[in-house]
Amino acid sequence: MLSSLTIGSLARESGRLARKHRSAAQCEEYSEAMASGRRKVTVVGAGMVGGTAAQILALRDYADVVLVDIVEGLPQGKALDLMQAGPLLGYDTNLTGTNGYEATADSDVVVITSGIARKPGMSRDDLLKTNMGIVRSVTEQVAKASPNAIIIVVSNPLDAMCHVAFDAAGFPRERVIGMAGVLDSARFRTFIAMELDVSVEDVSAFVLGGHGDTMVPLSRYSTVAGIPITELLPADRVKALEERTANGGAEIVGLLKTGSAYYAPGASVVEMVDAIVLDKKRVLPCSIYLQGEYGINDTYVGVPVKLGANGVEQILPLNLSDGEKAALKKSADAVQDLVAAMERIKSEA
């Protein structure tokens, strides 16, 4: 039988191995982040996406994580379970589960995943009414507890919920950002890699627009080792991959039957948190409140942004064709329709 000492040293060894598998560059970034003290990331909604994001964040080991949910016991149970994985996976992340906001005070980043998820046959827009109430009340509470935080909105319908959070938080637009483009682009990258039988590492892709049926996969800017996919695949295959990407969420809802995707959404959240906590200046497609950029006004839509310690540090311009501009405008119009619907719901209440 192994003594507790041996078990302890095995746990330490597995932690050492987990750390060893980080690249030298990652280690350097991590130590810089840690040098300025342990960060705090709050994840509101301890469901499938929130729980997955918390797990990947715990593995990052650069911030303590606070999980919040209205269901009593759920965030506490998940936080404790994740803490107990620490000795096995080699992280020292402190995880706290709570039904209130006190423990979230002074978070650096707050991820909002609270709400209901899509069931089969339900559109993201069906979620509008329920989730707008949840996102508003949650945002008011996190903004009060963490006035300097950067908020990442995940709840659907995504771009409309960004409007709600932006309004409720009263933060500058740079600090209220929506996660959708990172996920949609990851899906596009996956399908491109599958089609061409190449490593996903060599595929980069961009999906702009709202997170919905009107999203705009930008094939001209999607490449394999720098070669645009439009030069590697016939037009009908490119179109098929774009369509599969636009239906990427629904495809998984159809398969799971009882909920929507969470592994890739959780990982997409953490890609954004990494960029902020480690001040990486990543260029990622994120939903941001446009004020004239891309010819779009006062609307949250996904476009390429530079993401760093200050949140959105730059909105990058892209040279779009007339067709792409029209598709982006259509996507923004769809978001505006939801914003108008929310106004109607509010006035009827």
Smallest gap from residue 158 Cβ to ligand NAD (A): 4
Asked if residue 68 lies in contact with residue 104, where contact means CB atoms within 8 angstroms, the answer is yes
Catalytic residue among 211, 221, 272, 311: 211
Asked if residue 327 lies in contact with residue 295, where contact means CB atoms within 8 angstroms, the answer is no
Nearer CB in complex with ligand NAD: 237/244: 244
Q: Is the dihedral of CA 187, 189, 192, 195 positive or negative?
A: negative
Nearer CB in complex with ligand NAD: 233/275: 275
Which string of DSSP letters, residue by residue, matches 316-335?
PP----HHHHHHHHHHHHHH
Which string of DSSP letters, residue by residue, matches 135-200?
HHHHHHHHHHH-TTPEEEE-SSSHHHHHHHHHHHH---GGGEEE-SHHHHHHHHHHHHHHHHT--G
163-192 residues near ligand NAD, rule: CB under 6 A: 179-180, 183
Q: Which of 33, 58, 117, 205 binds ligand NAD (CB under 6 A)?
A: 117
80-109 footprint of ligand NAD as x/- string (CB under 6 A): ------------------------------
Q: Phi and psi at residue 2, in whole multiples of 5°? A: -75, 135
113 binds ligand NAD (CB under 6 A): yes
Q: Is 274 helix (H, G, I), strand (E, B) or coil?
A: helix
211 is catalytic: yes
Q: Which of 40, 189, 211, 306 binds ligand NAD (CB under 6 A)?
A: 211
Q: Which of 39, 78, 118, 163 binds ligand NAD (CB under 6 A)?
A: 118
Report the alpha-carbon distance of residue 242 to residue 53 in Å, rounded. Answer: 26
259-298 footprint of ligand NAD as x/- string (CB under 6 A): xxxx--x---------------------------------
146 binds ligand NAD (CB under 6 A): no
Nearer CB in complex with ligand NAD: 76/156: 156
158 binds ligand NAD (CB under 6 A): yes
| Active-site annotation, residues | 211
List residues binding ligand NAD (CB under 6 A). 44-50, 68-71, 74, 113-118, 127, 131, 134, 137-138, 154-156, 158, 179-180, 183, 211, 259-262, 265
